[in-house]
């Protein structure tokens, strides 16, 4: 196996907020990302899933150096990005690009599409001539399925799906090696979403890109990813190959997530045994002791409150942070009867 392009080790991002009223300050720490470790291999797609507030977007921003982590390492091709000066980091940003969730909101409404796609080229390749830039931009537009004659149009003349194509062109125009996609299709309608998902997969293959695909939609993540990482309240719950994680989820949270997704088939959907999770996600300001998922976990026992479960690596390369994962997999552990929500 080729060495990973990106190695994230024990990365933590904490935010301090003031919850006091009026002139009394009460500072509290939110551990948005808490000791997260994972690898991204060359030309693979790593899907990151989790519910809102689980820290997936903060994680993306930390990788790109847009927020300052408290601790940990982000190694890009063996070099720790967190040690780099602002100047040196700018150079690396060419290699790591970002695609945003809101397709039209992330484009400057007063710039033409041509200028939007050309801007990263001007930043990273100042010696390119105007002619070279124009050729590259038009080639890029064709690659993402836009018409090159649309270069002089403005973002408002495009639909959401087309705006996302512009966003993709802008990210890819500088030949990045890793593209972080933060909810790239969640703002789009299903028929358009499928177009963009196909485009991303196609470009990844053509350009041998590594992708980090962040989404809350498990079905889309299953479709695009080679491996999947599941986050909850800032921590990694499980990492495994796509089919492994979807067919044989080991962590109770992964299981609950998969069971929660409605299936577009009335027969299957109505027959499914659903073990709805209890309650809502606890406040990230005041996470539960031990395993952060235990307050909603149908398999929780007293030990779960004692200490934070380590992210163990199993034989298959799967990683899981649950003290009961083996019993659960064997079917030995059954959910506590009173823990089953009557829903």
Q: How far is the CB of 31 from another protein (least distance, A)?
A: 19
Residue 201 within binding range of another protein, rule CB under 8 A: yes
Residue 89 within binding range of another protein, rule CB under 8 A: no
In angstroms, how far apart are the furthest CA atoms of the chain? 70
| CA–CA–CA angle 333, 338, 342 (5° rounding) | 110
Neighbours of 151 (CB within 10 A): 18
CA 122 to chain CA mean position, Å: 28
Residue 20 within binding range of another protein, rule CB under 8 A: no
User: Token digits for 152?
Assistant: 């002089």
Beta strand pairing status for 312-313 and 6-18? Answer: unpaired
Residue 279 within binding range of another protein, rule CB under 8 A: yes
Residue 254 within binding range of another protein, rule CB under 8 A: no
Q: How far is the CB of 52 from another protein (least distance, A)?
A: 6
Choose, by CB under 8 A, the member of 268, 289, 310, 336 that binds another protein.
268
- The Cα–Cα gap between 219 and 182 comes to 16
Residue 117 within binding range of another protein, rule CB under 8 A: no
Residue 258 within binding range of another protein, rule CB under 8 A: yes
Residue 86 within binding range of another protein, rule CB under 8 A: no
- The Cα–Cα gap between 222 and 219 comes to 5
DSSP-derived secondary structure for 193-248: HHHHHHHHHHHHHHHT-EEEEEES-HHHHHHH-SEEEEEETTEEEEEEEHHHHHHS
Q: How many residues bind another protein (CB under 8 A)?
A: 53
- The Cα–Cα gap between 195 and 54 comes to 28
3-class secondary-structure state, position 190: helix
Cβ proximity of 104 and 170 under 8 Å:
no
Give the binding range for another protein (CB under 8 A) out of 33-41, 113-121, 167-175, 263-271. 263-271
Give the binding range for another protein (CB under 8 A) out of 30-38, 67-75, 95-103, 213-221. 213-221
Q: How far is the CB of 6 from another protein (least distance, A)?
A: 24
Give the binding range for another protein (CB under 8 A) out of 9-17, 128-136, 216-224, 323-331. 216-224
Residue 264 within binding range of another protein, rule CB under 8 A: yes
Give the binding range for another protein (CB under 8 A) out of 102-110, 118-126, 154-162, 174-182. 154-162
Query: Of the two residues 282 and 290, which places its CB atom closer to another protein in the complex?
Result: 282
3-class secondary-structure state, position 181: strand
Choose, by CB under 8 A, the member of 91, 139, 262, 317 that binds another protein.
262
Query: Of the two residues 9 and 216, which places its CB atom closer to another protein in the complex?
Result: 216
Residue count (the chain): 343
Residue 46 within binding range of another protein, rule CB under 8 A: no
- The Cα–Cα gap between 181 and 123 comes to 21
Binding site for another protein (CB under 8 A): 51-52, 145-147, 159, 161-162, 189-195, 197-199, 201-202, 216, 218-220, 222-223, 243, 246, 256-270, 274, 276-277, 279-281, 296, 341-343
């Amino acid at each position: 196996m080729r060495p990973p392009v990106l190695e994230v080790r024990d990365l933590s991002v904490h935010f301090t907020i003031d919850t006091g009223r009026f002139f009394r300050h009460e500072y509290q720490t939110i551990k948005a990302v808490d000791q997260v470790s994972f690898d991204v291999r060359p030309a693979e797609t790593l899907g990151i899933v989790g519910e809102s507030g689980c820290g997936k977007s903060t994680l993306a921003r930390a990788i790109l150096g847009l927020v300052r982590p408290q601790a940990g390492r982000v190694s890009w091709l063996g070099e720790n990005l967190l040690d780099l000066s602002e100047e040196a980091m700018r150079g690396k940003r060419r290699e790591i690009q970002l695609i945003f969730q809101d397709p039209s909101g992330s484009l400057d409404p007063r710039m033409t599409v041509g200028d939007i796609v050309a801007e990263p080229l001007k930043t990273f390749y100042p010696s390119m001539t105007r002619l070279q830039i124009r050729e590259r931009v038009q080639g890029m537009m064709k690659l993402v399925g836009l018409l090159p004659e649309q270069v002089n149009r403005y973002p408002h003349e495009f639909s959401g799906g087309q705006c996302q194509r512009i966003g993709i062109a802008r990210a890819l125009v500088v030949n990045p090696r890793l593209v972080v996609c933060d909810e790239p299709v969640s703002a789009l309608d299903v028929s358009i979403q499928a177009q963009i998902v196909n485009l991303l997969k196609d470009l990844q293959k053509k350009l041998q890109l590594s992708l980090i695909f962040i989404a809350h939609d498990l079905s889309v993540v299953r479709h695009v990813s080679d491996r999947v990482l599941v986050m909850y309240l800032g921590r990694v719950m499980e990492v495994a190959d796509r089919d492994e994680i979807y067919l044989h989820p080991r962590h109770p949270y992964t299981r609950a997530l998969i069971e929660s997704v409605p299936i577009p088939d009335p027969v299957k959907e109505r027959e499914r045994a659903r073990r709805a999770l209890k309650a809502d996600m606890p406040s990230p300001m005041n996470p539960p002791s031990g395993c952060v998922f235990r307050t909603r976990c149908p398999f929780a026992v007293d030990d779960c409150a004692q200490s934070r479960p380590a992210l163990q690596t199993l034989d298959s390369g799967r990683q899981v942070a649950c003290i009961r994962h083996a019993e659960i997999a064997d079917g030995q552990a059954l959910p506590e009867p009173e823990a089953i929500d009557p829903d």
